[in-house]
């Protein structure tokens, strides 16, 4: 869960947390303060402060209903639960977040359409009023072969279109794991060409041939974090975009966004000049590069390059 | 602020336990000393507390009392209206939910809170396998869809009123599809492009047509979305990208295969901006051949960027 907060918190946030923590504690009886803190992303002090407050709740003539909560020697003790026993109903945001995760998990390969997850999904959807909510995770044609190779620890000979180099390359990869990020599937693999771990977009594999050679797999860390890119290491670029170019912020991982005049100042990681060139051409007159100065001309150069082709007149193919 | 939190917790405990609605005076007596003795201040404090509770999803019900306190306003909280209904999840089903939320990431903070409320235990999560795009408008749209309430929002600078028939994720984007009340026809909107908060209007409800399939109603290709007449363009694709484009648009869209591997494909360009974005992504490996007007539009766009 989220890390411990800094600075003053609103009453609403603390109330919500209290009503989340109390029913949880009541399920468990006595719990170390440190465990409560870790579970809810709090400091020990915050836990003690909130629990102490809860222990003061309940008033005459409802003395019987007083909350029996004690913090002592690093443990939280909860006695007979009377009030605040049930958690609050799921908010729209909580319910949607969980239902979407469940629907997507059911769309993943190997999901059992009649298993416990499907049954839980049905109960959850019913509690949320059965929203018409569907998640499609498209599977590119090569994905099955790649997954098979991950399971079998088998090297694959592939032809890959690298968007950052804008070229087709042949390589042999040792596929370690597959994952999906924002609608695209990737395979994490050791790559003989670069000698490094890389993430390849599965829909950009032109050819994919099992080699019959096997390798010893190594564990890999999940890589889906904001800021990673499929095509290798990245540098940071600062763009100024108008309101109409705001989609950049919604479409790509960005480091920071600030209002700047009648537009936005956006800092984002850029994997290659080719990638940046494409982005700048799409944005057109709605953006310019502020930093680094060395990349300020990338959009213009790319536009000139593409225009050269149009100005050559009759369409020719290479 | 601890004082206000303590007062609110006590207020909630009181209004939950009471069997009959209480007036503010009665509440103030019960919570001895926690509300101001001065009537105007007390009312302001109480209204503030009510607002906090309402914002956290705990509505205080008001009734006009009869009998002893006839005419005064009485307050209580109905447990059933804010407490989580028992979903009757088995331990196995709880574990499956936990695992799903660890495997697919959308809004981990909210999903984590939901799991805590459902009393799932921390289990060793498997690897994260899929990350989905987040959009603030998603939750209110889903809630409005479930409750069959109309919504209002700003999209491309225009106020829209929509009966949200369904919400889907396709090709990495969230869409809401439904009947646009202003336009008088079915429309699809990208959820991440909604420019305002979503206003849910419980006063206007609707029925979803029988057998409506939201996924089928959402056109995958943004190049065909748009409000103009359907249009198509011919684009020459160099050999280096021919395979990729061919898989994307389908063999049926290939109108000519040239020696050396280049192909000419027919693609929709109804949404000019989406079409331009697609062609530009191919850089100098693609060239719009026809119609002239679409080609000129692209050249004009590039010239604006190329201008020193």
CATH 3.30.70 placement within chain A: 235-310
H helical segments located in chain B: 2-17, 24-30, 39-55, 79-82, 91-103, 108-117, 138-147, 214-217, 239-249, 272-281, 292-306
Cα–Cα distances in angstroms (integers) from residue B7 to residues A21, B124, B270, in the given order = 18, 39, 59
pLDDT above 80: residue B30: yes
CB-CB: which of B104, B127, B146 is closest to A105? B104
Task: Please name which of A225, A230, A307, A234 lies closest in space to residue A276, comparing C-alpha atoms.
Answer: A234
Strand, helix or coil for residue B155: strand
Query: A65 to chain B: which residues are within 8 Å by CB?
Result: 13, 17
Q: Are A241 and B240 in contact (CB under 8 A)?
A: no
Query: B299 to chain A: which residues are within 8 Å by CB?
Result: 307, 310
Nearest CA-CA distance, residue B100 and chain A, Å = 5
What is the rounded CA–CA span in Å between residue A20 and residue A8? 19
The third-level CATH classification (topology) of the domain covering A11-78 is Arc Repressor Mutant, subunit A (1.10.10)
pLDDT bin (cut points 50, 70, 90) of residue B124 is low
CB-CB under 8 Å, B30 with A132: no
CB-CB: which of B55, B100, B112 is closest to A105? B100
What is the rounded CA–CA span in Å between residue A305 and residue A135? 39
Biggest CA pair distance of chain B: 96
What is the rounded CA–CA span in Å between residue A180 and residue B106? 12
Q: Which of B4, B19, B129, B282 should we substitute to test contact with A (largest number of A Cβ atoms within 10 Å)?
A: B129
- Could you tell me how many residues make up chain A? 318
The third-level CATH classification (topology) of the domain covering A235-310 is Alpha-Beta Plaits (3.30.70)
pLDDT above 90: residue B292: yes
pTM of the model: 0.68
List Cβ<8 Å contacts ≥24 apart for A74-81: A74/A32, A74/A33, A74/A34, A75/A30, A75/A31, A75/A32, A75/A33, A76/A25, A76/A30, A76/A31, A76/A32, A76/A33, A76/A36, A76/A47, A76/A51, A77/A29, A77/A30, A78/A22, A78/A25, A78/A26, A78/A28, A78/A29, A78/A30, A81/A26
- Give the DSSP letter of residue B250: -
User: Token pair 């999940």 is at which residue?
Assistant: A222
Task: Please name which of B100, B196, B186 lies closest in space to residue B141, comparing C-alpha atoms.
Answer: B196
Query: A132 to chain B: which residues are within 8 Å by CB?
Result: 145, 165-167, 208, 212, 214
What is the rounded CA–CA span in Å between residue A225 and residue A96? 21
Res B45: pLDDT: 92
CATH 2.30.30 placement within chain A: 143-214
CB-CB under 8 Å, A309 with B287: yes
List Cβ<8 Å contacts ≥24 apart for A80-86: A81/A26, A82/A58, A83/A57, A83/A58, A83/B13, A83/B16, A83/B17, A84/A18, A84/A19, A84/A22, A84/A23, A84/A54, A84/A57, A84/B12, A84/B13, A85/A22, A85/A23, A85/A26, A86/A23, A86/B79, A86/B83, A86/B84
Distance of CA A68 to the CA centre of its chain: 40
Reported as a single tens digit per residue, the pLDDT across A50-102 is: 877 776 665 444 444 555 677 777 888 776 556 677 788 888 889 999 999 99
Query: A273 to chain B: which residues are within 8 Å by CB?
Result: none
Reported as a single tens digit per residue, the pLDDT across A221-241 is: 665 543 444 444 567 899 999
CB-CB under 8 Å, A310 with B299: yes
CB-CB under 8 Å, A101 with B104: yes
pLDDT above 90: residue B57: no
Res A314: pLDDT: 47
CB-CB: which of B130, B260, B299 is closest to A307? B299
What is the rounded CA–CA span in Å between residue B24 and residue B42? 9
CB-CB under 8 Å, B171 with A136: yes
Three-state DSSP string of chain A: CCCCCCCCCCHHHHHHHHHHHHHHHHHHCCEEHHHHHHHHCCCHHHHHHHHHHHCCCCCCCCHHHCCCEEEECCEEEECCCCCCCCCECCCHHHHHHHHHHHHHHHHCCCCCCCCHHHHHHHHHHHHCCCCCEEECCCCCCCHHHHHHHHHHCEEEEEEEEECCCCEEEEEEEEEEEEEEECCEEEEEEEECCCCEEEEEEHHHEEEEEEEEEECCCCCCCCCCCCCCCCCCCCEEEEEEEEHHHCHHHHHCCCCEEEEECCEEEEEEEECCHHHHHHHHHHHHHHEEEEECHHHCCHHHHHHHHHHHHHHCCCCCCC
Q: Which of A5, A67, A134, A223 should we substitute to test contact with B (largest number of B Cβ atoms within 10 Å)?
A: A134
Query: A57 to chain B: which residues are within 8 Å by CB?
Result: 6, 9-10, 13
CB-CB under 8 Å, B17 with A62: yes
For chain B, say whether A309 makes contact (Cβ under 8 Å): yes
Classify domain B138-219 by CATH architecture. Answer: Roll (2.30)
The third-level CATH classification (topology) of the domain covering B2-82 is Arc Repressor Mutant, subunit A (1.10.10)
Burial class (CB in 10 A: 0-12, 13-18, 19+), B33: exposed
Which stretches in chain A have pLDDT values below 50?
1-6, 59-64, 225-232, 314-318
pLDDT above 70: residue B224: no
pLDDT bin (cut points 50, 70, 90) of residue B301 is very high
pLDDT bin (cut points 50, 70, 90) of residue B243 is confident
pLDDT bin (cut points 50, 70, 90) of residue B48 is very high
CB-CB under 8 Å, A60 with B89: no
What is the rounded CA–CA span in Å between residue A225 and residue A219? 17
Give the whole-number percent of chain B exceeding pLDDT 70.
Answer: 93
User: Token pair 């002090």 is at which residue?
Assistant: A45
| CATH class for the region spanning B232-306 | alpha beta
Strand, helix or coil for residue B176: strand
Query: A178 to chain B: which residues are within 8 Å by CB?
Result: 129
Q: Are B182 and B127 in contact (CB under 8 A)?
A: no
A235 pairs with which residues across the strands? Answer: A270
Nearest CA-CA distance, residue A211 and chain B, Å = 22
Q: Which of A96, A136, A142, A146 should we substitute to test contact with B (largest number of B Cβ atoms within 10 Å)?
A: A96
Cα–Cα distances in angstroms (integers) from residue A283 to residues A228, A255, A286, B280, in the given order = 22, 19, 5, 10
Closest residue in chain A to residue B27, using alpha carbons only:
A59
CB-CB under 8 Å, A60 with B9: no
pLDDT above 90: residue B289: yes
Closest residue in chain B to residue A96, using alpha carbons only:
B139
Query: B113 to chain A: which residues are within 8 Å by CB?
Result: 1, 20, 94
CB-CB: which of A92, A105, A136 is closest to B168? A136
For chain B, say whether A27 makes contact (Cβ under 8 Å): yes
CB-CB under 8 Å, B238 with A62: no
CB-CB under 8 Å, A8 with B111: no
For chain B, say whether A166 makes contact (Cβ under 8 Å): yes
Q: Which of A68-79 are b and which e, b meaning 16 or more Cβ less than 10 Å from the residue's Cβ?
A: ebebeeeebbbe
Q: What is the CATH number that goes with domain A143-214?
A: 2.30.30
ipTM, 2 dp: 0.71
Sheet holding B263-268, edge to edge: B254-257, B263-268, B232-237, B286-290
pLDDT bin (cut points 50, 70, 90) of residue B122 is low
Domain segments of chain B as ranges: 2-82, 91-131, 138-219, 232-306
Closest residue in chain A to residue B137, using alpha carbons only:
A93
For chain B, say whether A168 makes contact (Cβ under 8 Å): yes
pLDDT bin (cut points 50, 70, 90) of residue B257 is very high
Distance of CA B298 to the CA centre of its chain: 33
Residue B234: in which H helix or E strand, if any? Answer: strand B232-237
């Amino acid at each position: 869960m989220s890390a411990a907060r800094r600075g003053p918190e609103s009453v609403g946030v603390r109330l919500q947390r209290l009503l989340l923590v109390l029913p949880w504690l009541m399920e468990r009886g006595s719990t170390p303060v440190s465990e409560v803190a870790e579970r809810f992303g709090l400091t020990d002090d915050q836990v003690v402060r909130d629990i102490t407050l809860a222990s003061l709740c309940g008033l005459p003539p409802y003395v019987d209903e007083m909350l029996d909560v004690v913090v002592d020697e690093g443990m939280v003790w909860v006695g007979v639960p009377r009030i605040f026993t049930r958690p609050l109903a799921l908010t729209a945001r909580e319910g949607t977040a969980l239902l979407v995760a469940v629907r997507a998990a059911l769309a993943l390969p190997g999901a059992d359409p009649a298993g416990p997850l499907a049954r839980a999904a049905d109960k959850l959807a019913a509690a949320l009023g059965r929203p018409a909510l569907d998640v499609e995770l498209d599977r590119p044609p090569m994905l099955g072969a790649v997954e098979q190779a991950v399971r079998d620890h088998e090297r694959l000979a592939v032809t890959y279109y690298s968007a950052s180099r804008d070229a087709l390359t042949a390589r042999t990869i040792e596929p370690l794991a597959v994952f999906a990020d924002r609608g695209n599937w990737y395979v994490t693999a050791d790559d003989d060409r670069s000698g490094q771990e890389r993430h390849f977009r599965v829909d950009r594999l032109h050819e994919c041939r099992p080699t019959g050679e096997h390798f010893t797999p190594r564990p890999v860390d999940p890589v889906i974090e904001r800021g990673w890119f499929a095509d290798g290491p990245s540098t940071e670029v600062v763009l100024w975009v108008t309101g109409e170019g705001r989609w950049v912020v919604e479409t790509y991982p960005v480091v920071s966004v600030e209002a700047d005049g009648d537009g936005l100042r956006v800092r984002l990681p850029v994997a290659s000049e080719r990638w940046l060139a494409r982005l700048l051409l799409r944005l057109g007159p709605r953006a310019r590069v502020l930093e680094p100065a060395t990349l300020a001309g990338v959009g213009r150069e790319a536009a000139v390059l593409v225009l050269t082709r149009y100005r050559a007149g009759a369409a020719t193919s290479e | 602020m601890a004082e206000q939190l303590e007062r609110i917790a006590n207020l909630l405990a009181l209004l939950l336990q009471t069997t009959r609605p209480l007036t503010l005076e009665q509440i103030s007596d019960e919570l001895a000393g926690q509300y101001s003795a001065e009537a105007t201040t007390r009312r302001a404090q109480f209204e503030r507390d009510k607002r906090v509770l309402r914002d956290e999803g705990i509505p205080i019900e008001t009734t006009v009392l009869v009998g002893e306190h006839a005419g005064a306003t009485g307050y209580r909280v109905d447990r059933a209206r804010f407490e989580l209904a028992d979903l009757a999840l088995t331990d196995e089903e709880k574990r499956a939910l936990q695992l799903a939320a660890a495997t697919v990431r959308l809004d981990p903070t909210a999903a984590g809170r939901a799991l805590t409320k459902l009393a799932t235990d921390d289990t060793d999560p498997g690897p994260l396998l899929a990350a989905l795009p987040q959009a603030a408008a998603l939750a209110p749209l889903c809630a409005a869809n479930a409750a069959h309430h109309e919504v209002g929002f700003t999209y491309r600078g225009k106020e829209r009123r929509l009966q949200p028939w369904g919400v889907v994720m396709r090709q990495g984007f969230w869409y809401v599809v439904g009947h646009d009340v202003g336009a008088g026809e079915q429309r699809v909107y990208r959820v991440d492009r909604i420019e305002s908060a979503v206003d849910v209007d419980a006063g206007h409800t609707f029925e979803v047509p029988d057998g409506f399939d939201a996924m089928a109603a959402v056109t995958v290709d943004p190049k065909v979305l748009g409000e103009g007449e359907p249009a198509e363009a011919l684009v020459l694709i160099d050999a280096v990208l021919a395979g990729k484009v061919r898989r994307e648009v389908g063999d049926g869209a290939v109108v000519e295969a040239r020696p050396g591997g280049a192909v000419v494909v027919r693609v929709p360009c109804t949404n000019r901006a989406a079409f331009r974005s697609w062609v530009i992504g191919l850089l100098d490996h693609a060239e719009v051949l026809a119609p002239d007007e679409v080609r000129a539009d692209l050249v004009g766009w590039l010239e604006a960027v190329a201008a020193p």
